[in-house]
């Protein structure tokens, strides 16, 4: 664990200028179709066993691809339709209690809180993959540098990984990556009018945000009110923020062209978590989200169409945010 932390700290200092190698994604590769066990036996006991709770599950995304892109009557029908998938499921999880001291010090880690505990199965093989992004990737992408905070965050994943292995077994595989984009995060701020009620202003903003992104063919794939969860549900004070929430965003066509066309493993990054927080007395809402170009770098995309699509979505999200009044920072 210590050596892993040291390696990741070195990564942070070098990643913008030189090559490096670090763990990217961890998967348990399990014989057979594990979909039913995963959903009916594994997930119901997840929180008690690990502290990680489930929010906004999206099971059988492969069926949604079929209904839209495999349906000749749908306007988005793909004339080259075929599927490589038997199962693709996104299950957003987070350990809110363990995350509490971290989120108070490093709010940007909400760019991966929650994150996806991905399950998928390719038609071409009789194995199921269950896995997630390595936590050091989350820290490196969001720019969390404090060594103690990093160690605390990485340690949080040990019970999760142990539980997956206990319940499913299989071979544990890890991939590595050797670069990140020079600017892996989108960062914005919104000015809040002086004297505005934060709760009222935020609610109005959220309504406008959702309508705007949905009009641009994005799916609101999740929403988590961290301020409310901590102070109302968990009775844990979060006075560092007047407001703190996270949206899960998904562009379905982009997702289809990645996951259904050979890179289901990249689903560990989906849906994108965009976080928003307001610190007391600032009249500023700070916003951040990992760029989709991070997917291309960490997952080592080689298909130019997938790389270019990631850049297009990055540019479009920035444009939409600016249309809502954001300033890029």
Name the CA radius of gyration of the chain, rounded. 19
Per-residue HEC secondary structure of 148-204 comes to: HHHHHHHHCCHHHHHHHHHHHCCEEEEEEECCCCCCCEEEEEEECCCCCCHHHHHHH
What pairs with residue 246 in β-bridges?
224, 275
What is the spatial distance between Cα 306 and Cα 310, in angstroms, rounded to a whole number? 6
Q: What is the pLDDT of residues 5-58, one digit of tens each?
A: 444 444 444 344 335 688 999 999 999 999 999 999 999 999 999 999 999 999
What is the average per-residue pLDDT within 210-217? Answer: 97
> Are residues 225 and 202 in contact, defined by beta-carbon separation less than 8 angstroms?
no
Contacts of residue 142, Cβ cutoff 8 Å, sequence gap at least 6: 106, 108, 109, 111, 112, 185, 288, 290
CA dihedral sign, ordered 82, 84, 85, 89: negative
Over residues 247-272, the pLDDT tens digits come to 999 999 999 999 999 999 999 999 99
Contacts of 203 (CB under 8 A, 6+ apart): none
Average confidence (pLDDT) over 69-84: 95
pLDDT tops 70 at residue 224: yes
Q: What is the pLDDT of residue 308?
A: 98
Q: What is the pLDDT, as a whole number, of residue 19?
A: 54
In the predicted model, what is the mean pLDDT of residues 66-95? 96
- Token pair of 149 as six digits: 């905070």
* 204, 88 contact by CB (below 8 A): no
Residues 128-174 pLDDT 10s:
999 999 999 999 999 999 999 999 999 999 999 999 999 999 999 99
Query: In the chain, where do the E strands start and end?
Result: 22-31, 53-58, 85-94, 115-116, 118-122, 127-133, 171-177, 185-191, 218-225, 243-251, 272-278, 284-290, 327-328
pLDDT (0 to 100) of residue 74: 96
Q: In this predicted structure, what is the pLDDT of residue 21?
A: 80
Is the pLDDT at 113 greater than 80? The verdict is yes
Query: How many CA atoms lie within 13 Å of 13's alpha carbon, on the beta-carbon side?
Result: 7
Domains for the chain: give ranges and CATH numbers: 2-324 (3.30.310.70)
- Per DSSP bridges, beta strands 118-122 and 115-116 are unpaired
**pLDDT digits over 79-90, tens only?**
999 999 999 999
- What's the confidence (pLDDT) of residue 20? 65
The per-residue pLDDT for range 285-324, each reduced to its tens digit, is 999 999 999 999 999 999 999 999 999 999 999 999 999 9
The structure's pTM equals: 0.92
């Amino acid at each position: 664990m210590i050596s892993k932390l040291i390696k990741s700290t070195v990564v942070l200092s070098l990643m913008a200028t030189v090559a490096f190698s670090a763990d990217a994604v961890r998967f348990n590769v399990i014989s057979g179709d594990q979909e039913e066990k995963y959903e009916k036996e594994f997930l119901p006991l997840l929180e008690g066993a690990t502290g990680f709770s489930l929010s906004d599950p999206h099971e059988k995304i492969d069926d949604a691809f079929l209904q839209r892109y495999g349906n000749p009557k749908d306007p988005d029908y793909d004339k080259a339709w075929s599927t490589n998938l038997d199962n693709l499921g996104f299950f957003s999880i987070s350990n809110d209690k363990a995350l509490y001291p971290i989120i108070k010090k490093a709010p940007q880690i909400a760019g991966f809180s929650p994150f996806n505990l991905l399950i998928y199965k390719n038609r071409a093989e009789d194995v199921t993959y269950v896995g997630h992004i390595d936590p050091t990737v989350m820290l490196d992408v969001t720019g969390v540098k404090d060594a103690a905070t990093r160690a605390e965050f990485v340690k949080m994943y040990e019970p999760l990984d142990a539980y997956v292995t206990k319940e499913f077994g299989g071979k544990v595989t890890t991939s590595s990556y050797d670069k990140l984009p020079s600017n892996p995060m989108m960062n914005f701020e919104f000015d809040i009018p002086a004297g505005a009620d934060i709760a009222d202003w935020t609610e109005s903003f959220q309504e406008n945000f959702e309508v705007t992104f949905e009009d641009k063919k994005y799916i609101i794939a999740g929403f988590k009110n961290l301020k409310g969860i901590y102070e109302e549900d968990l009775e844990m004070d979060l006075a560092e923020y007047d407001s703190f929430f996270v949206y899960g965003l998904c562009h379905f066509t982009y997702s289809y062209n990645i996951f259904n066309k050979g890179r289901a493993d990249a689903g560990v990054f989906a849906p994108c978590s965009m976080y928003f927080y307001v610190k007391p007395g600032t009249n500023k809402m700070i916003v951040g989200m990992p760029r989709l170009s991070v997917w291309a770098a960490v997952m080592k995309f080689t298909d130019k169409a997938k790389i270019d699509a990631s850049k297009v979505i990055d540019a479009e999200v920035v444009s939409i945010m600016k249309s809502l009044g954001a300033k890029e920072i």
